Amino acid sequence: FQNTHTFYSDDKDDTCILNFTWVNYKMEPGNVSIASQSGTFASHINFVMEELDLNMNKCISVGNESNIDICDCLEYFEMDEFTDVILLYIEEVKRGRRFIELVKRIVPKKPIIVLYVGGSEGGAMAVSSHTGSMAGNDKIFNALFEQTGVIRVYTLQELMDTAALFSKMIPKNILPANNRIAIVTNAGGPGATMADKASRLGLKIPQFSEELQKDLKKFLPHTAQGDQASNPLDYTFSIDPTTYFKRVPKMLAKSGEIDAIVAYGAFGADFFSYRTVGKKILESPKYKKLIYMYTQMFEAAVDSARRIIKKYKIPIVYVNLMGHWQDEVIEYLNKHGFPTYKYPHEAVNALNHLIQYGVFLQQTQK
Amino acid sequence: FQNTHTFYSDDKDDTCILNFTWVNYKMEPGNVSIASQSGTFASHINFVMEELDLNMNKCISVGNESNIDICDCLEYFEMDEFTDVILLYIEEVKRGRRFIELVKRIVPKKPIIVLYVGGSEGGAMAVSSHTGSMAGNDKIFNALFEQTGVIRVYTLQELMDTAALFSKMIPKNILPANNRIAIVTNAGGPGATMADKASRLGLKIPQFSEELQKDLKKFLPHTAQGDQASNPLDYTFSIDPTTYFKRVPKMLAKSGEIDAIVAYGAFGADFFSYRTVGKKILESPKYKKLIYMYTQMFEAAVDSARRIIKKYKIPIVYVNLMGHWQDEVIEYLNKHGFPTYKYPHEAVNALNHLIQYGVFLQQTQK
């Protein structure tokens, strides 16, 4: 390897961890592998990975590809039983014809998510000074990606966010076949923001049937806007975990009217911290008991959600702006299979890519 | 107020803090104020604000505007001596004519940054169920914003990121009059990613003059790509704080060839943690002395950078992917006036908006 400093590998039996980088990472074997023309994107990313509960299997930095290139990595990841999701950071593709052959063959089996930066004028200029490559044309790459079902992202954050979702959904084969999403929220603003983003990405936010609305209305709190069970489904101020994590997802998933769910307001028992209820109340025995009960309800409801997404093959992603404060909840959700993001648009973006991949597979398998 | 739960105010003398929300925030008086048609975006955001070292002065949630509306808030913020930067979360504008009058009058004095979600099909639908508003047309709003110099953002993250930058630069009157940026990086991938993003936003990444290149080359490490002092300026593997925070910014700022700087790799002494050099080495007296010296160099260099941006009116923003690990460095930079972001595109986005505002003022004052 030239111009590269990363290569490590985790195996499922945890017996073979190789880390050739200069950082002693906390590593857990994951199911996502990356081949990158930047060493940084195969090493500095570990800290955002931790936050997103995203674990890698293999990280290969190919640098300027003096001996091994992106195509070699693709061939390796294709066969590697530990890799479910393939990430690429690309500045240019040297063996174009081979690359097309490979992605065509691999995408129907494993998703490929690409951050390609060589397509713009500024990107091309930078790339030529970084790896000495001639960069390509955005339009040609977009056509290639679209035709072969490769997922293109435009920022490193989008790459990480999307990988976190794919990493959790692909092994369970939870892949939407269509683009109808339900937006669930316990606060109006984030609901509107997610609807705005989803709409700009071309996702459908269908109105629910009268039958489904009737069911959903049963659990709407009186604080919800206008007493409507519309989409976005707004149950402002509700903090009942059984409704939020179990009843509503189940009704939506069963209905057959939507293909994916994005939900704002993933609150757990940490919500009732010294910052909201005060230290004095928090430490009273009565309150401690309530928190314990709430936690039990929360965990049972999340367990139900886990079974719901598996049974109905409907992905759910959560959003919680209060990352700092709610870390335990976010960790719990992530560990139980639900990618949880800080900002509303991150969740919608990642979900959009999962839908894109699901729809592609659906269409090509026809 | 109806459908609202937030109103608080911090004064510079720290004697008057009102917090009517249900959360006991850690509040420091800042110079940014927000008027929001979503209570969530005036309350749940405090946690991301903490991360970004963004402090509010007034947060007003106007809900569905049953008595006070966005225009009233604008009038108030216009006169308020503690407010330097105005943020708005808008689903619709009820008094359109008055809104136009106000933003026209205010923008030349104080920047207004708007997250407007009512312009897309999905946004409009959600908005009508949230505050019962009729949403407007994206094109009309974009034309209005462009004509009046209002900064439009599309995500909450962009709103927060941009506010963090404006909050630090506006009081010092650091406003680029043109859109030529220098990209500085100690890793090729992030440099290329930032160049790609900047180019897509229409920013210029000019090549440096031969004279400037000659100066810049003096401090390029041998690990830099191709021994070039091109833009992006890539000095891969350099961890010399004096070069990174002082020499390079000074040469760039003095040159008159660029209007703003974005820099990846804001490493400080925390870089040499147990994760990179190991606990044993870290705790040796010799090493401790080295860390101490490095910290002195780092702090002196950041102090120089602070004087450079003030003197030449050239903003610098930093990026460090390793947020978790480098919190002290990020906090130090933020506290000394340098907004520091996790992802490369966040920094470029925020900088683009500052340039947009600076160029608008420049053009209208002609």
The predicted model gives A213-217 an average pLDDT of: 91
Count other C-beta atoms under 10 Å from residue B80's C-beta.
16
Centroid of chain to Cα A61:
23
Spatial contact of A253 and A314, defined as CB atoms under 8 Å apart: yes
Q: Which residues contact B284 (CB under 8 A, 6 or more apart)?
A: none
Cβ <8 Å between B47 and A324 = yes
Q: Which residues in B lie closer than 8 A to residue A348 (C-beta atoms)?
A: none
Determine contact: B196 vs chain A, CB below 8 A: yes
- Which residue in chain B has the smallest CA separation from A23? B276
CA torsion angle A106 A108 A113 A116 (round to 10): 60
For tokens 């603003």, name the residue.
Answer: A189
Taking one residue from A and the other from B, the number of pairs with CB-CB distance under 8 angstroms is 243
DSSP label at B57?
Answer: E
Question: Does residue A11 have a pLDDT over 60?
Answer: no
Predicted confidence at residue B51, as pLDDT, reads 86
Rounded Cα distance, B54 and B32, in Å: 8
Distance between CA B209 and CA B254 in Å, rounded? Answer: 13
Average pLDDT over residues A330-351: 94
Quote the tokens at residue A228: 């409507």
pLDDT in tens, B183-199: 999 888 899 999 999 99
For residue B1, what pLDDT band results from cuts at 50, 70 and 90?
very low
Q: Which residue has the higher pLDDT, B51 or A88?
A: A88
Q: Among A53-62, A134-143, A166-175, A353-362, which stretch is predicted with the lowest mean pLDDT?
A: A134-143
The C-alpha of A365 sits at a distance from chain B's nearest C-alpha, in angstroms, of 30
Q: Which distant-in-sequence residues (6+ apart) come within 8 Å of B334 by Cβ?
A: B52, B53, B340
Taken in order of first residue, the domains within chain A and their CATH numbers are: 7-169 (3.40.50.261), 181-365 (3.40.50.261)
* B317 pLDDT higher than 80: yes
ω into B339 cis (within 30 of 0): no
Question: Would you call B35 helix, strand, or coil by DSSP?
Answer: strand
Strand ranges for B244-344 from DSSP E: 260-264, 316-319, 340-341
CA-nearest residue to B275 within chain A is: A24
- % pLDDT > 70, chain B: 86
Query: What's the pLDDT score for residue A224?
Result: 61
User: What pLDDT, in 10s, does the model give residues A252-270?
Assistant: 999 999 999 999 987 777 7
Of the residues B193, B237, B258, B324, the best mutation for testing chain A's interface (the one with the most A CB atoms within 10 Å of its CB) is B193
Does A156 lie at the interface with B, CB-CB under 8 angstroms? yes
pLDDT at residue B8 is higher than 60: no
Chain B, 58 to 87: residues with Cβ < 8 Å from chain A are none
Whether chain B has a CB inside 8 Å of the CB on A217: the answer is no
Q: Does B16 touch chain A (CB under 8 A)?
A: no
**What letter represents residue B2's amino acid?**
Q
Averaged pLDDT, A75-95: 94
- Among all chains, which residue has been given the structure tokens 């997610």? A194
Taking the Cβ of residue A115 and every Cβ of chain B, the question of whether any pair is shorter than 8 Å is answered with yes
Q: In B, which residues are within 8 Å of A228 by CB distance?
A: 129
Bond before B111 cis per omega within 30 degrees: no
Question: What is the DSSP annotation of B78-147?
Answer: HH-TT-SEEEEEES--SSHHHHHHHHHHHTTTS-EEEEE-TTSHHHHHHHHHHT-PPP--HHHHHHHHHH
Are residues B132 and A226, on separate chains, in Cβ contact within 8 Å?
Answer: yes
What is the rounded CA–CA span in Å between residue A93 and residue A65? 10
Mean pLDDT in residue range A188-194: 92
With a pLDDT cut of 70, the percent of chain A lying above it is 86
Residue B194 tokens read as 């930032």
CB contact under 8 A, B22 and A276: yes
Q: State chain A's mean pLDDT as an integer.
A: 87
B-chain residues within 8 Å CB-CB of A39? Answer: 187-189
Degrees, nearest 5: CA angle A166-A170-A176: 85
- Using an 8 Å CB-CB cutoff, list chain A residues near B155: 193, 197, 343-345
Residue of B21, B129, B204 to mutate for A, most A C-beta atoms under 10 A: B129
Give Cα A19 distance to the centre of its chain: 25
Residues in A touching B321 (Cβ below 8 Å): 40, 44-45, 47-48, 156
Nearest-CA distance B53 → chain A (Å): 13
* pLDDT score at B192: 93
Assess contact for A175 and A107: CB atoms under 8 A.
Answer: no
Chain A residues close to B197, C-beta within 8 Å:
122, 154-155
- For residues A180 and B118, the answer to whether their CB atoms sit within 8 Å is no
Structure tokens at A176: 């939407």
Which residues of chain A neighbour B205 with C-beta distances below 8 Å?
Answer: 122, 125-126
Interface check for B38 against chain A (CB to CB < 8 A): the answer is yes
SS3 B48: helix
Chain A residues touching residue B200 (CB < 8 angstroms): 120, 122, 154
Q: Is B256's pLDDT higher than 60?
A: yes
Instruction: Find chain A residues with C-beta within 8 A of B282's C-beta.
Output: none
**Cβ <8 Å between A225 and B130:** yes
Three-state SS at B331: helix
A251 CB neighbour count, 10 Å cutoff: 20
Beta strands A340-341; A316-319: pairing state: parallel
Give the phi and the psi of residue B10 in degrees, each rounded to 5. -115, 140
How many helices (H) and strands (E) chain B has is answered by 14, 12
Q: A82 and A12 in contact (C-beta within 8 Å)?
A: yes
Which candidate from B45, B322, B345 shows the least CB-CB separation from A321? Answer: B45
Across B62-79, average pLDDT = 91
**Neighboring chain B residues of A50 at a CB cutoff of 8 Å:** 324
pLDDT band at residue A26 under the 50/70/90 scheme:
low
Residue A93 has pLDDT above 80, yes or no: yes
- Degrees, nearest 5: CA angle A33-A34-A38: 160
Which A-chain residues 281-320 have CB contacts (< 8 A) with chain B? none
- Which of A164-168, A330-334, B121-125 bottoms out in mean pLDDT, i.e. has the lowest? B121-125
Average pLDDT (B83-91) is 96
Q: How confident is the model at residue A7 (pLDDT cuts 50, 70, 90)?
A: very low
Interface mutation vs chain A, best among B196, B222, B330, most A CBs within 10 Å? B196
Enumerate the residues of chain B whose CB falls inside 8 A of the CB of residue A205.
122, 125-126
Report the gap between the CA of A84 and the closest CA in chain B (Å): 24
Distance (Å) from the alpha carbon of B290 to chain A's nearest alpha carbon: 19
Provide the mean pLDDT of chain B: 87
**B244 against A252, higher pLDDT:** A252
Residue A125 sits at the chain B interface (C-beta within 8 Å): yes
Any residues with CB less than 8 A from the CB of B307 and at least 6 apart, and which? none
CA distance B146 to chain A (A): 20
The chain B residue lying nearest A41, using CA atoms, is B189
Asked whether the predicted pLDDT for residue A192 surpasses 50, the reply is: yes
Inter-chain residue contact B205 with A122, CB threshold 8 Å: yes
Phi, psi dihedral angles at A260 (to 5 degrees): -160, 155
| Cα first-last separation, chain B | 42
> Helix or strand or coil: residue B185?
strand
pLDDT at B319 over 70: yes
Q: Which residues of B touch A318 (CB under 8 A)?
A: none
Write the residue in A125, A195, A230 that is nearest to B205 by C-beta.
Answer: A125
Nearest to A343 among B156, B196, B344 (CB): B156
Q: Which of A247, A62, A36 is nearest to A156 (CA)?
A: A36
In this structure, are residues A221 and A238 in contact, taking their beta carbons and an 8 Å threshold? yes
Please state, in angstroms and rounded to a whole number, the distance separating the CA atoms of residues A60 and B238. 22
Q: Does A279 touch chain B (CB under 8 A)?
A: no
**When comparing pLDDT for B148 and A18, which is higher?**
B148
* Residue A103 tokens, joined: 């992605």
What is the average per-residue pLDDT within B252-275? 85
Alpha-carbon Rg for chain A in angstroms: 22
Whether residues A40 and B187 touch (CB distance < 8 A) is answered with: yes
